[in-house]
Amino acid sequence: MPEHTIEVDNLHLWRGDRHVLRGVSFTVVRGGCLEVCGANGAGKTTLLRALCGLVYPEQGRILWNGEDVRHDLPAFHAALAYLGHEPPLKADLTARENLHYWIGVRRHLERSELDAALARVGARSWCEQLARTLSAGQRRRVALAGLTLLAVPLWLLDEPTTNLDGEGRALVAELVREQLARGGIVVAAVHQGLPSSVPNVTRLDLAA
Amino acid sequence: MNRSDGNIAQPLAALAPADPEMRTAACHRASALEAIRLALLRDLQLALRKRGQLVQPLAFFAMVTLLFPLAISPELARLRELAPGVVWVGALLGSLLALEFLFRDDAHDGTLEQYALSGQSLTALMTAKTIAHWLLTGLPLALMAPLAAVSLGVRTGALPGILLAVAVGSVALSLIGSIGAALTLGIKRSGALLSLLTLPLSLPVLIFGARATQLAIHGASFVAPLELLGALAVLGGTLAPLAAAAAVRISLE
Amino acid sequence: MNWTWFHRLASPPHVYALAARLTRWFAWPAALCIAAGLWGGLVLAPPDYLQGDGFRILYVHAPSAWMSLMVYVTMAGAAAIGLIWRMKVAHAVAASCAPIGASFTVAALVTGALWGQPMWGTYWEWDPRLTSELVLLFLYLGYMGLRAGIEDPQRADRASAMLAVVGVVNVPIIHYSVTWWNSLHQAPSVMRLAKPAMPLGMLVPLLLMLLGFTLFFIALLLTRLRGEVLARERTASWIREVVRA
């Protein structure tokens, strides 16, 4: 079976005068998880944004399944889910509406799927509340529900466990484990490291 | 890379053969039209939740209209001559006022980022946002323009023409404005700069629109300037979303 | 295809050295052309039978107006190259163009107003040519404002480049609509050059001035470009060598 792989080859990136990424290289194959560690300002977020094609790397290549992602960015984007620092939620929509629009723009969504995903992250009781009334941890959970609904092979997660309680962190670990088990790939920028229950983790340290 | 097992010919099975969930997602990718529909509905629903912002451009338009009789003269005969200018300056400024909000919230809460990474055409999504912007500001301004015109002594026969001109012209204004709004993303106090970028590009709309209004007020045929307005709207409709999408990508870099 | 020569050509140290070497080859001919053009226009050319000596401001006004547009097109072209091929030097060229173009635009507006006084009896007439020129000034100001407003230099480069491209698409539309708005005034004088309406004694100095202004622009551009490259590469090691030398 063809393997999903993401391969980064000698990535360099400058922000203004600052040489942020200095020759980053790695390969992650299906079922693998890469944990990107480093102090604040080491370029974790920049690396993730470069991986998904938001930031243009001045040097180096990113290969998805052996193809340079720049050859067909829309196809690559269709295969990935990116979660930034903040969950991408509209304050004036409910949790459910947020998912309906956010995921609906990308794929057809059945109501039952939406219900199941909301229940999965423990949002059943508050999914009709406006996002502005939710706590940071609850919003993070809605974002996790969106992640599972997208059902794509590549997850790029920026600090996925921020603002989550112990139960929430366990949920992240479980979702990541499932994603790896079905042959997906996870790249996560983490300050403290992923929960130890996640298998197949490779660590990448970025120097500040 | 080892890809010699022959599954490449079956891309759906190849995507995630072990996982029915991923396969479903690949089958059910939303069409561009569906994406446009949802992006449009999302903006409309959000606008309905924040009605206060909807009224602002209209109140602004009414206020601008009020300034002229106070500053010049209450004589309707004189105001009638000025009416095309007043209506169009009011519509232009009202439309400009709402532009600042076009992408700001989306940029702030990460929606733009998700749009750019959705695998859907960002140009299509920008078109949806511009349509929403027109429905929420251009159309109300067009409906308001006849009221403003009446208060300036314009006879009722000219009102349909004025409404039509502002409706068509405001499409072009929304399109031009979307480029300016996308370019000024990430600038803190962008209001004045946004005006400086957008107003020079909007001058043709102002010229043709005011001319159409003037002809309508004088009871003459305003087809020629209206056609020119339509041409601007069509040209803008083809090019502006492309430029706005490129500008949004630049703002995310 | 082998692009190494291209990248070497466009590398900052090379551009810096090249600009330094080329400047004089444009500056001196520019000075000669402008001196000859001014002498021909202000001394040799006969007074106009309608406007007397007043028309002579044309020798500054027309080239300035011409340059204001040409610099904008150059800027947009460089911006487009920078945008498409991600060439930093092209962005530096576009950034260097803007203040020069804005200055030519101001010169065209001021000389136009001065010319307006004897011709129309007023310093400002809403003539389509002057009005378009004024809009062009706003386009330049918007470009420079956007560039200054964005903190991240790469994003500033790319966003302002996008604006320049949008602007250059709009310039003909704006010009057409302004002409349409007020088609009662005289045709632009640059257009009149196409017809042999002007006696040779007036035309030759004007063409010399045009050539002189163009060369002057290139010399200025090269000088500004060096400054721009220095500012952008201030942390690069080759700068230290240049400064020491």
Half-sphere exposure of A22 (CA within 13 A, CB side): 8
Contact list, B123 vs chain A (CB under 8 Å): none
Q: Is the pLDDT of residue C51 over 90?
A: no
Q: Is the pLDDT of residue B229 over 90?
A: yes
CB of A15 within 8 Å of a chain C CB? The answer is yes
d(CA B246, CA C160): 12
CB of B188 within 8 Å of a chain A CB? The answer is no
* Sequential pLDDT tens for chain A (208 residues): 357 999 999 999 888 778 888 889 999 999 999 999 988 888 999 999 999 999 988 889 999 999 999 999 999 999 999 999 889 999 999 999 999 999 999 999 999 999 999 999 999 999 999 999 999 999 999 999 999 999 999 999 999 988 899 899 999 999 999 999 999 999 999 887 788 888 888 899 887 6
Most distant pair of Cα atoms in chain A: their distance: 50
Number of H helices, E strands in chain A: 6, 9
Tens digit of each residue's pLDDT (9 = 90 or more) over C20-44:
999 999 999 999 999 999 999 888 8
Q: Residue A208's pLDDT is what?
A: 66
d(CA B198, CA B178): 9
Q: Is the pLDDT of residue B192 over 80?
A: yes
Q: Is the pLDDT of residue B45 over 70?
A: yes
Q: Is the pLDDT of residue C192 over 50?
A: no
C-alpha distances in Å from residue A186, one per residue of A65, A164, B47:
15, 19, 36
Strands A185-189 and A154-158: parallel
CB of A17 within 8 Å of a chain C CB? The answer is yes
Q: Is the pLDDT of residue B7 over 50?
A: no
Q: Residue B16's pLDDT is what?
A: 40
* Residues forming a β-bridge with A154: A80, A185
SS3 letters for chain B? Answer: CCCCCCHHHCHHHHHCCCCHHHHHHHHCECCHHHHHHHHHHHHHHHHHHCHHHHHHHHHHHHHHHHHHHHHCCCCHHHHHHHHHHHHHHHHHHHHHHHHHHHHHHHHHHCHHHHHHCCCCCHHHHHHHHHHHHHHHHHHHHHHHHHHHHHHCCCCHHHHHHHHHHHHHHHHHHHHHHHHHHHHCCCCCCCHHHHHHHHHHHHHHHHHHHHHHHHHHHCCCCCHHHHHHHHHHHHHHHHHHHHHHHHHHHHHHC
- Sign of the CA dihedral with A47 first, then A48, A53, and A55 last: negative
**pLDDT band at residue B1 using 50, 70 and 90 as cut-offs:** very low
Q: Residue A138's pLDDT is what?
A: 94
Q: Hey, what's the torsion of the CAs at B163, B167, B172, B173, to 10 degrees? A: 80
Exposure string of B85-111, with b = 16+ CB inside 10 Å and e = fewer, is ebbbbbbbbbbbbbbbbbbbbbbebbb
d(CA A152, CA C32): 67
d(CA B219, CA A28): 72
**pLDDT band at residue C196 using 50, 70 and 90 as cut-offs:** very low
DSSP state of C56: G
Of C86, C152, C235, the CB nearest to A56: C86
**pLDDT band at residue B12 using 50, 70 and 90 as cut-offs:** very low
**pLDDT band at residue B6 using 50, 70 and 90 as cut-offs:** very low
Strands A201-205 and A59-64: unpaired
Residue A47, classed as helix, strand or coil, is helix
Of B203, B228, B251, the CB nearest to C174: B203
Q: What tokens does C77 get? A: 């072209």
Of C60, C73, C157, C44, which Cα lies nearest the Cα of C115? C60
List the alpha helices (DSSP H) in A15-67.
Answer: 44-51
Tens digit of each residue's pLDDT (9 = 90 or more) over B131-148:
999 999 999 999 999 999
Q: Note whether B186 contacts C155, CB cutoff 8 Å.
A: yes
Q: Residue C3's pLDDT is what?
A: 56
- Which of B23, B114, B253 is the best residue to mutate to test the A interface, defined by the most A CB atoms within 10 Å of its own CB? B114
Q: Return the minimum-mean-pLDDT range out of A8-22, A87-101, C75-89, C90-104.
A: A8-22
Q: Which helix (H) or strand (E) holds A58?
A: none
How far off is chain A from B129, nearest CA to CA, in Å?
A: 13
Tens digit of each residue's pLDDT (9 = 90 or more) over B104-116:
999 999 999 999 9
Of B181, B41, B92, which Cα lies nearest the Cα of A105? B41
Burial group, residue C245, by CB count within 10 angstroms (0-12, 13-18, 19+): exposed
Residue in this structure with the two tokens 């920049």, named with its chain if needed: A46
Of B179, B193, B204, the CB nearest to C174: B204
d(CA A90, CA B52): 17
Q: Residue C6's pLDDT is what?
A: 65
- Helices A95-104 and B32-49 sit at what angle, rounded to 10 degrees? 150
How far off is chain A from C92, nearest CA to CA, in Å?
A: 14
Which residue on chain B is closest to C133 by alpha carbon? B200
Q: Note whether B3 contacts A66, CB cutoff 8 Å.
A: yes
